[in-house]
Each structure stands twice: as structure tokens, then as C-alpha cells.
Amino acid sequence: MREPVPHRGSIVVALVTLALATIGLPPQVAAGQEVEWPAYAADAAATKYSPLDQINRDTIADVEIVWRQPVIPDVTRQGNLTRGPLLSQNTPLMVGGLLYVSTGLGSVAALDATTGEVVWNDGPLLEPGADAPLRTRQTRGVAYWTDGEDARVIATRGPMLVALNAKTGARYPDFGEVGEVDLRLGLMRDFPDYYWNSAPLVINDVIIVGSFVLDYTTNQQPATKESARGDVRGYDVRTGEHLWTFHTIPREGEFGVETWGIDPQGDRASWEYSGNTNMWAAPSGDPELGYVYLPLSTPTNDYYGGHRPGDNLFAESLVCVDAATGERIWHFQAVHHGVWDYDFPASANLVDITVDGREIKAVAIVSKQAFIYVFDRVTGEPVWPIEERPVPPSPVPGERLAATQPFPTKPPPFDLQGVSLDDLIDYTPELRQEAIALLDQWVWGPMFTPPSILDPRPGGTKGTLISPGTAGGASWTGAGVDPETGVLYVPSFYGQNVLGITRSEHPRSNVRFVRERFTYPPGPQGLPLFKPPYGRLSAFDLNTGELLWMKPNGEGPRDHPAIRHLDLPWLGQSGRASVLVTKSFIFLGEGTNTGVAGQPHPWGGIGGKMFRAYDKQTGEVVREIELPGGTTGAPMTYMVDGTQYIVVAVGWEDMPAEWVALAIP
């Protein structure tokens, strides 16, 4: 079934084709033309860049909210009376005057890009042979594909991969089985709750999807060394045919299987039963090379790996594969035998740079560890040396950590790494002494100090304080890059937390140790334990590997009673926020006030409602706009009918999430 989709002129078609097919310099924008946002992060290269500059230094003062739309629009509720989620991580696409979104109920909808009104909505998802709708979750985004005649929106809805007509929202009955592909089929182990919350990527007519296999275990649930695997798969965009599977944990005879040792408590190779190693984040890709870049996560049991000896490829690795076959081209492992939950949380950014006179097709990826790794995306060679350096051994029985971990020599880290006395707050001598006293309750040290066993006795350790924490550093919001300059813009936030493990006591567990609970380190009088900034925006020139500037993002706790009298400068909001890069500005929100893992933050909220325009050269804040809630999704921008819009999802603890559109009225 193919229905031609009307286009708004040859300019639009050319721009979409260019955005999906190349990674070079963006086109110049003529006044009044339509400029689209055809991929989750602007393009396959995940630049988060738009050449639009109608909103510039001369006009930024006139920008205001022009429409709002709940992430569960009324016409899409279909009898569901839920108030709506407080948080939506969705980023819309915009093609041909329509915004394509994943709603708060997990359906796919098209909105009018000028008003936010619903044009069509994909209804409840029915599993074949079932009477009741299948439970689905909202996702961070969808994908768009066109061959110039047919145009499709590609999405995951719960365990199903669907293709929808971009004009009408109708299913394609010849895509998979009755218009959908069951992603649970072909998995090595049963995984009834399979889903993926990131956006699919379409490269050269191949859909690439990952998996969401929960890897967080505590004594409140059975912790087993056996788990479903987070394999990455490719499907034909027209038929839904399964084309290939990349095994994130190698199988017998495959490259890397030797990095999974024999179970110390048995005689099986650990690759046979280990799982997870998901691709949480969306991949990025180079259509000209035909390569896709997979950011992979941690293996089964995040915080204890005694049952999986070895480096454990391809966990916590960036893997380049052939988009047509899934064949591995090259890989880099950022953490050997991970026990810190230091997975790659975000898409890699593709950009062409010039280093010492040499032109390089590069790929850069930010990490929870606050490192930026930069490679030649063709060969996988590091642009600057990455050194293997000694790290502390583990005190946990049965745990055999790698003796070294990789440390990039350039660019420099973008946030605090490890814990030292010099990092503790010193706003006043009294606060510093309180911070020093608090530090005594944990094991602490340089980055990659391993998790420790909780000791409940008086004076016993309460675990290992790690920095960055398991949420970053960088988070799923990732970075953005300007393809015209090669400058990478990285938002990061205060993310220290405590890794305390304990013997597994659940009757159905078969691993020795699990994490006890998720905790933030409390600071003196409710303040953070460490020095600011608690949320920052950093700019790096990838042509030189140097930091250009770093600025705190927001005021932070400077109005706290213990330090209000000091009249401190901005300290930074500790919220997960994503950048939007345009010709004129870096746009960045502050994130929401809902804590990581559902916990309240120790100093009263981690985000804020401000949305800012930063000068790209200096980091100066040119304008800030208060939104109804904190930004929870990544912002995007487009031009329709001569007007540039910026749309972002927002949410707060006292309001359902919604999309907000900004423009010059």
C-alpha cells in the first residue's frame, strides 16, 4: 500500500533529502521557506542543529509562547481518564507542516505545526487475537522516512514496531503482520515486557531499534545472572522484514566472546546466561558510509560482576556496524567489566573536523563519566590518544575488576570526576567542616573507585560515594554540535550518588551481591556536598580538543538560608536538560523537579522552569523565558509559513506534561 503524500514544494523535498542523506555543512535558509526537523536529533548525525536564525539577537526579545498542547491531547484519550504524566521525554519531528509525536498514552499523533491541534492519531494498539488494547508507553521520539513518493512515520508502541502513513496515520497492512512487527520474536530469552523508549533510526531503508531491559536490581526483587539481552536489530522499512541482529553479548564463535569468562560457581561460559547490555539511547548514522553507531549499556547486574569474569564486550561500548548487514566494523569499550552503571546514555554526534590540517570524518560521544571520546568514524581510530590507566581493585569477595580503564587525553572532562577533599563546598568554614565530617561515612577516592559492601554496624561504611554518579555527568539528553564550526555543546549536571551493595537475600536470586538502594549524598544543612556548578553548559572545539567556555546553567541553591547573605553568582540547576543548536544560539532549559529514580533531591528540586538562549561564542545568556514547567524533552525548531517555532516538552510535579511552542507572534 502506497499513498502519495503531498509536498509543499521542491525546497522542502530537497531539504528533507539533504538532512537524511548528508552530514556536511547545512544549507543557507532563504526567508520564508519551510525548514523541517525530520529526525529525532535533527538528522541522522544527531547534531541537534538547525540553520534557522529568524530568532536572533535582534528578535529574541520578542519570542513568547504561542501555543500549548497536553501530551495526552483530549481527542487522543479514547476513554482513558488518566490525568497525564508529569514528565514526557518526547521530541517531535516536523515534516510538511505536521509535528509527529508520541503521546502520553504511547500512541502516535500528528499535530498541526502552527497550532498544535491534532490532525490524526494512531488508536489503541491491539495484539493479534486479543480483545483488550496492549499496554504501551510513551517514547522519546519517532522516525520519518520517504522515498519521494511514499512517506512513513516509524515508531515503537510497546513491543510492536509500526509504520504509519505520514499523511493519514493509516497502517500499512503489508508491513510485518497486519501492519506491525512483534519485536519480542527472535529474542534469545522470553521477554514479555519488551519495549524501547528511544526513537528508531532509519538509514538507507533500514530501521534500527534497540531494547529496554531493566538492569537495576535490589533485595526487593529477585536478582539473577540470567536476563534477556539487549540485542540491536535491523528491519526493512517497506516490509518490516527482519534483516539482521547484532548480538551485544557475543555468542560462540563471534568476535569478543572470549571476554566472557567461565562462571566461578559453575562450568558455563558467562556469555551463555548473561543479559542486558542494551542500547537505551537512539543510534546515529552516516548514510554515505552506510554505518550506524550504537551506544551500549551495562551487562547483568549493574554493580556486581563476579559471575561474569572478563572485560565483557560489547558492554559500555560504542560499536560501529554496517547498516545493511549488522556486521561489526569497529568498536571501543569505555568501561571494562563495568560495575558503576556507566553505560553510554546518549547518541553519538557525527561531525566533520580538521585536526592539525587533517580532515577527519569524526564521531564524538559524551559519557556519564564526563568524558568526551572522539574517533575517526570510518576507522574507529581515536583522534587523540586514549590511555589505559590503573584503577583501584575491588574489596568485594568474588569481584575481579579490570586493572585499568580508558582515559581520553583530549578533550578535558566536562564535569567533576572522582571525590577529593578539594571538591567539598567551602562557602563558609563551618559548612566545609560539616562536609568533611559527612564524607567520613563513605568510601571515596578517584574515579572508578569500586562499589563497597554496606556495614550496618556503628561507624561502618555506608557504601562508595562515586562522582559522576550513575545518572551522569552526561545523561540521555546528550550533546549537540554545530557542523559549521565543529564546536560541541555539552549540558551536564551534579550527579553524585552512593553505591552500597549487600548480599542478595531474595529467595529467587542467584547472584551474590546487589545494590541496596539508590541514595544521594546529603550535604551540610541541606546544601550540596560538593562545589558548584551543579548544572553547566560547556563548549568544546573538536578541531583542537580544547574547552572554549563553561557556564553554570541557572541560579541553583544560591538563595539557601545558609548562603543567601554571600550574594553568590549562579551555581547551576542540577536538572537533565538537552541543547538545541541554531545559527544564532544554544537553547537550554533547566530540567524538571522530579528526582532521579523517583527520589526527591536532597536540596529541594533539581530543575527549573527557565529556558535560555546562550551566545554560542561566549556562553553569555542573551534571554531567558519562564515556561509553565521544566523542560523534560529535547527542544527542536522548524519554520512553517515564514515563522520559526521552537517546541519542547515541559512538566512539573503539579502539572501534566505538555508541549510548548515558542515563536515571534
Give the pLDDT confidence score for residue 302 in this predicted structure. 87
Q: How many Å is the Cα radius of gyration of the chain? A: 24
State the Cα–Cα distance between residues 86 and 104, nearest whole angstrom. Answer: 9
In the predicted structure, residue 602 carries a pLDDT above the cut 60: no
Look at residue 3 and tell me if it is in a domain. no
In the predicted structure, residue 223 carries a pLDDT above the cut 90: no
Alpha carbon distance, N-terminus to C-terminus of the chain: 40
Look at residue 37 and tell me if it is in a domain. no
Give the pLDDT confidence score for residue 19 in this predicted structure. 42
Domain count, the chain: 1
Contact 142/101 with Cβ under 8 angstroms?
yes
In the predicted structure, residue 592 carries a pLDDT above the cut 90: no
* DSSP symbol at 513: E
Look at residue 42 and tell me if it is in a domain. no
What does the pLDDT look like over 255-294, one tens digit per residue? 999 999 998 888 899 999 998 999 999 999 999 999 999 9
Q: Cα–chain-centroid distance for residue 79?
A: 32
Confidence class for position 7, pLDDT limits 50, 70, 90 = very low
State the Cα–Cα distance between residues 4 and 9, nearest whole angstrom. Answer: 14
Give the pLDDT confidence score for residue 220 in this predicted structure. 59
One-letter amino acid at 600 equals: P
Look at residue 23 and tell me if it is in a domain. no
Look at residue 231 and tell me if it is in a domain. yes
Spatial CB neighbours of 411, under 8 Å, sequence gap ≥ 6: 372, 374, 384, 488, 540, 542, 545, 546, 547
- pLDDT (mean) for 611-618: 98
pLDDT above 90 coverage of the chain, percent: 72
What does the pLDDT look like over 319-344, one tens digit per residue? 999 999 999 999 999 999 999 999 99
The range of the structural domain enclosing residue 635 comes to: 49-646+653-663
Look at residue 13 and tell me if it is in a domain. no
Look at residue 33 and tell me if it is in a domain. no
In the predicted structure, residue 94 carries a pLDDT above the cut 70: yes
Give the pLDDT confidence score for residue 15 in this predicted structure. 41
How distant, in Å, are the alpha carbons of 168, 191, 330 from that of 333?
43, 26, 10
CATH number at residue 108: 2.140.10.10
Look at residue 574 and tell me if it is in a domain. yes
With a threshold of 0.85, does the pTM exceed it?
yes
In the predicted structure, residue 26 carries a pLDDT above the cut 80: no
- pLDDT (mean) for 513-525: 84
In the predicted structure, residue 1 carries a pLDDT above the cut 80: no
Spatial CB neighbours of 113, under 8 Å, sequence gap ≥ 6: 94, 97, 98, 99, 638, 640, 645
- pLDDT (mean) for 62-86: 78
State the Cα–Cα distance between residues 550 and 536, nearest whole angstrom. Answer: 7
Average pLDDT, the chain: 89
